Copies of this chain bind each other. A is one copy, B any other.
Amino acid sequence: MKISQKGLYALQAMMVLTRRHTQGAIRIRDIAYEENLPEKFLELILLEMKNARIVESVRGAKGGYRLRRAPSEIRLSEIIRLIDGPLAPFGDADSLRVLIDRDAEHSALYKVFLEVRDAAARILENTTLADLIRRGPAGRSHPKAINRRTSDRKTSKKKKPEPTVLPMVAR
C-alpha cells in the first residue's frame, strides 16, 4: 500500500474538518490555505470524498464541507482505501486469499503479503480522525489514561507555529 500525495492531502483536509467540525461548513479555500494545499486539486479530493459519503457539502454562497459522521467513526483506512486503493502491498486481500488457495507454488509468498496487509489494516482500521486530533499536534502517541485529568486547560497553549513548508523527500 502506497499513500500518494493526494492521499496525504485528503488526510490533512480531514484533520482540518475534524478540528473544526463544530463550526459548520468550511470552505475549500480555507482548508487549502490552512494546510497549504493546491486549491483546485483539493476540490477534486473533497468531491471524491463527498461521493463516498465521508463528507457532505453545502452549495452556494456560505457553502463548504463538513464531516458526515463523528470523527470517532471515520477510520484512516476508509480514507486511504478510497484515495489510494487496497491496503495490501500487492493486489488486495481477497485476491491474495484466492492466490493462496489456488497457486500452491507461491502460497508462502502470498501469505506473507497477506500478513503485511493485515498488520497495516489492524493499525489503520483502529485509528480514527478523533484519535489523530486527540494525539496531536506533537502529542505523545499513547497518552496514559491515568493522566488524562492532568491535561489542565490553563496550561494548554494554542501554539500557532508558522506554517512551515517542509521539503518532502521522496524515496
Contact = CB atoms under 8 A, between A and B. Distances in A.
A163 to B, nearest CB: 8
Number of copies: 2
A-side interface size class: 35 or more
Interface stretch (A21-29, A39-47, A59-67, A137-145): A137-145
B106 A137 contact: yes
Interface string A103-133: 1111111011101101110111001000111
Nearest to A111: B141
Contact of A112 (B105, B124, B137): B124
Contacts of A86: 171
Interface in A45-97: 76, 85-86, 89-92, 95
Contacts of A15: 106, 109
A76 B90 CA distance: 14
Given A119-B169, A169-B95, A136 B106 contact: yes
A168 interface: yes
Contact of A137 (B99, B104, B116, B170): B104
